[in-house]
Amino acid sequence: MMYTDWLYWLFVLAAIVLYYISPHRIRPLVLITAGISFYSYYAGFFVLLLLAEAIIAFLLIHSSLKRGKRWIYPATIMLIILVLGYFKYGSWLGSMVNSLFGFINEPSLPTVDDLILPLGISYFTFELIHYVIEKKRGNLPQHKPVGFLAFLFFFPTMVAGPIKQFQQFYPQLTAAFQWKNVRIGVLRIGIGLFKKLVLAASLDILAQPIYSPEGISGADTWTLWVSLIAYTFVIYFDFSGYSDIAIGTARLFGIVIPENFRNPYLARSIAEFWNRWHISLGSWLTRYVYFPLGGSRVSKARIYVNLMCTMTVSGMWHGAAWHFVVWGMFHGIMLCIHRFFIKEIKPLVRPVPVWLKPGTTLLAIGMTFFGVTLSRVFFVLPVSDGMDLMLRLFGLGS
């Protein structure tokens, strides 16, 4: 892991020093150079792919606005999606086609081992799509191309987010050095490292039984539940730890980036959970998938379809495999059930007495956590193994 590599932290220190001693107009170039150097070290020549994609998208969207050619805008979005689709989903789709049609004695389509996924391409893609859409809408401040590239190649967020917004990021590039930011940044990095290296690593030992079919078949129901709950917290501490490190590192540059987690396992509903978990992704999906589909301004049936579509996209964004699709649909179903209860059932039920509210709040938190924990089955395992684990959790497996 790069965060345990002392060379990485020397790189961070050097980048910070260069950033603050540079004039404001040079700072974006420092961030671009640092980002390209960082990406080249960990992912090699793929940095050229991302750089070319960014430059082409920038030229296309600005050409669209200057020349008034409306077709360039959707073509730019499609190009960005196709690049992501080829590298992230090409092998998955190729494997499915190969298994369906056989390709006997014929060259087969690329399989899962044939294509290498560029590091952080999902985050890069979503930020690039955000930029193109908001530029088209006229919501971005005036900036030069180097500001755009500094936004995309800001190395603290390139690997695991949070997903930034250009209009929040760019104005902060002129921030003066403050010791307050150093204190906050170092503390946040320390919290993130503790979450990842201590809490997540310790709980991962308890989670081992659910990582393989052999572990599942050799464990009793109680052990499987403990393992699944442990994994639920492993995911939280590991991912939120990454976010803490990214947020803290950005703060060392005087840049505040979005929070990604707000005690998600204390959510009282699945809708509230998605306002607390991977917040930057949920916000992106709401703005660029759910709302364009019509959001909640359409018929009741369409709202449920929109929820399912949005969460299916969320599942596919996490990984190119059917179990991620099932995981996303699992959350979509939970969101649909929650909406149906809030809109159709709750108005028919008498309000809960004040003295019962603490109990109902705890019940709501418990039910939400239970649903989220069950969904982790399909996040960690292929569909067939996940179904086996699901049955064994309820004493139904063989």
Residues annotated as catalytic (active site), given as ranges: 318
What residue spans of 253-292 are helical by DSSP H? 270-273, 279-285
Residue 65, exposed/middle/buried by CB under 10 A (0-12, 13-18, 19+)? middle
The backbone region for 131, taken as left when phi is positive above 0, alpha when psi lies in -120 to 50, beta otherwise, is alpha
| Residues 296 and 283 sit within 8 Å (Cβ to Cβ) | no
Q: Find the radius of gyration of the CA atoms of the chain.
A: 23
Nearest to 182 by CA among 110, 233, 250: 250
| Residues 234 and 242 sit within 8 Å (Cβ to Cβ) | no
Nearest to 13 by CA among 189, 147, 259: 189
What is the distance between the alpha carbons of residues 92 and 87, in angstroms, rounded to a whole number? 10
Which structure tokens are listed for 70? 């409306």
What is the distance between the alpha carbons of residues 74 and 64, in angstroms, rounded to a whole number? 10
Amino acid at site 211: Y
Residue bearing tokens 């079919």:
213
Question: What is the Cα 8 distance to its own chain's centre?
Answer: 23
What is the distance between the alpha carbons of residues 383 and 373, in angstroms, rounded to a whole number? 16
What is the distance between the alpha carbons of residues 32 and 146, in angstroms, rounded to a whole number? 8
DSSP-derived letter for residue 171 is: G
What is the distance between the alpha carbons of residues 306 and 88, in angstroms, rounded to a whole number? 24
